[in-house]
Amino acid sequence: MAASPSLGALACSLVAPDKGILAADESPGTLEKRFAAIALDPTDENGRRYRELLFTTEGAARHVSGVILHDATLRQSTRQGVRFVDLLLSQGIIPGIKVDLGAQPLAGAPGEHVTDGLDGLRARLAAYRKLGARFAKWRAVLDVGAGLPTLLGLRANAEALARFAALCQEQELVPIVEPDCRAQVA
């Protein structure tokens, strides 16, 4: 069995020139909204068919270095029974996984948020690595407005991002940190 590439080599592959990372990590709720817009039933089978269409697009590997998957998609297969992870890898596309559980209000900091998902993350990352993920993404929402973000908000989110990144590296996954600045409207 060949040795797996180092985290540095994987990170470089993800940011290869003229390529990008495809975010295909829509939650079932988000996918349901997208399907409603085109009058398509939001069934698991239609979700699988949609992902299969994305992942089998001819020539995609010329422009896509990696794909961020949702937990359910990481476990799905084509109608021929080929795991999506293996399909992507066969094209030279690196499979990844979204691991945060969404932004929640930050206690003691009205109007600010911190991202949930650190509890049990080590075990989830180990399982995702075994399923074929090679990188993981964590989105941190930073609220921006009058007096925001506060030092508490910045520290809470920075600590969560740092813990996420350290756990990823421990599990041999490239961490993708996604700070998302969101303007507060007065």
Tens-of-pLDDT digits for all 186 residues of the chain?
A: 345 679 999 999 999 999 999 999 988 888 899 999 999 999 989 999 999 999 999 999 999 999 999 999 999 999 999 999 999 999 999 999 999 999 999 999 999 999 999 999 999 999 999 999 999 999 999 999 999 999 999 999 999 999 999 999 999 999 999 999 988 766
Contacts of 122 (CB under 8 A, 6+ apart): 167, 170, 171
Q: Read out DSSP for 8-71?
A: HHHHHHHT-TT-EEEEE---HHHHHHHHHHTT----HHHHHHHHHHHHT-TTGGGTEEEEEE-H
Q: How confident is the model at residue 4, as a pLDDT?
A: 64
Q: How confident is the model at residue 49, as a pLDDT?
A: 94
Continuous segment of H or E residues that includes residue 185? none
Nearest-CA neighbor of 88 among 43, 21, 17? 21
Q: How confident is the model at residue 157, as a pLDDT?
A: 96
Q: How confident is the model at residue 186, as a pLDDT?
A: 61
Q: CB of 102 within 8 A of CB of 138?
A: no
Q: How confident is the model at residue 2, as a pLDDT?
A: 47
Continuous segment of H or E residues that includes residue 153? helix 151-170
